[in-house]
Structure 1
Amino acid sequence: MDPIKNKIQSTSKETRQDIIGKILSYSCIALIVIVVLSIFAFVASKGLATFIVNKASISDFLFGTNWNPIATDKAGNPLLGALPMITGSFGVTILAVIFAAPFAIGTALYMTEVASKKGEKLLQSVIELLVGIPSVVYGFIGLSVVVPFVRIHFGGSGYGILSGAFVLFVMVLPTVTSMTVDSLRAVPRYYKEASLALGATKWQTIYKVLLRSATSGILTAIIFGMARAFGEALAVQMVIGNAAIMPKGLLAPASTLTSVLTMGIGNTVMGTVGNNALWSLALMLLLMSLIFNIIVRFIGRKGRM
Structure 2
Amino acid sequence: MDNITKKLMQRSESTRKDTFGRAVSLTALTLIGIVVVAIFAFVLSRGLSTFFKDGVSVKDFLLGTTWNPSVTNPATKMPYVGALPMIIGSFLVTFLSAIVATPFAIGTALFMTEIAQKRGAKIMQPIIELLVGIPSVVYGFIGLTVVVPFIRTVTGGSGFGILSGTIVLFVMILPTITSMTVDTLKSVPRYYRESALAIGATRWQMIYKVVLRAATPGIMTAIVFGMARAFGEALAVQMVIGNAALMPTGLTTPASTLTSVLTMGIGNTVMGSLQNDVLWTLAMILLLMSLVFNLIVRAIGRRGAMK
Distance 2:120 2:261 in 1: 42
Distance 2:287 2:216 in 1: 27
Superposed displacement of residue 78, structure 1? 1.9
Secondary structure of the corresponding residue to residue 240 of structure 2: coil
Superposed displacement of residue 116, structure 1? 4.3
Partner of 1:86: 87
Instruction: Render the CA deviation track for 1:30-75: whole Å, top value 9, x for unaligned.
Output: 0000001111111111111111110001111111001111122222
Structure 2: runs of 5 or more not aligned: none
Secondary structure of the corresponding residue to residue 71 of structure 1: strand
Structure 2 residue 171 is the aligned partner of structure 1 residue 173: no
Q: Which amino acid aligns with 1:143?
A: L
Partner of 2:29: 29
Distance 1:116 1:257 in 2: 41
Partner of 1:120: 121
Q: Which amino acid aligns with 1:32?
A: I
Q: Which amino acid aligns with 1:5?
A: T
Partner of 2:49: 49
Secondary structure of the corresponding residue to residue 200 of structure 2: coil
Q: Report if the CA contact (8 A) 2:144-2:240 is conserved.
A: yes
More displaced, 147-156 or 200-209? 147-156
Partner of 1:40: 40
Q: Which amino acid aligns with 1:221?
A: A
Distance 2:48 2:144 in 1: 35
Partner of 1:196: 197
Distance 1:301 1:194 in 2: 26
Q: Report if the CA contact (8 A) 2:111-2:117 is conserved.
A: no
Partner of 1:11: 11
Partner of 1:280: 281
Distance 2:159 2:121 in 1: 36
Distance 1:156 1:108 in 2: 37
Partner of 1:146: 147
Superposed displacement of residue 155, structure 1? 2.7
Superposed displacement of residue 284, structure 1? 0.4
Distance 2:207 2:111 in 1: 11
Sequence identity (%) = 67
Alpha-carbon distance change, 279 to 136 in structure 1, aligned in 2, over 3 angstroms: same
Secondary structure of the corresponding residue to residue 122 of structure 1: helix
Distance 1:274 1:232 in 2: 22
Secondary structure of the corresponding residue to residue 199 of structure 1: coil
Give runs of ≥4 in structure 1 deviating > 4 Å. Answer: none
- TM superposition score normalised by structure 1: 0.98
How many pairs align?
Answer: 305
Distance 1:153 1:114 in 2: 36
Instruction: Render the CA deviation track for 1:155-211: whole Å, top value 9, x for unaligned.
Output: 321100001000000000000000000010010110001001111011000000000
Distance 1:41 1:237 in 2: 27
Structure 2 residue 254 is the aligned partner of structure 1 residue 253: yes
Partner of 2:263: 262
Q: Which amino acid aligns with 2:259?
A: T
Instruction: Render the CA deviation track for 1:94-150: whole Å, top value 9, x for unaligned.
Output: 110011000000000000011242431220000000000011110111011111111
Secondary structure of the corresponding residue to residue 69 of structure 1: strand
Partner of 2:68: 68
More displaced, 111-120 or 83-92? 111-120
Distance 2:149 2:78 in 1: 40
Q: Which amino acid aligns with 1:60?
A: D
Give RMSD over aligned pairs. Answer: 0.9
Q: Which amino acid aligns with 1:67?
A: W
Secondary structure of the corresponding residue to residue 147 of structure 1: helix
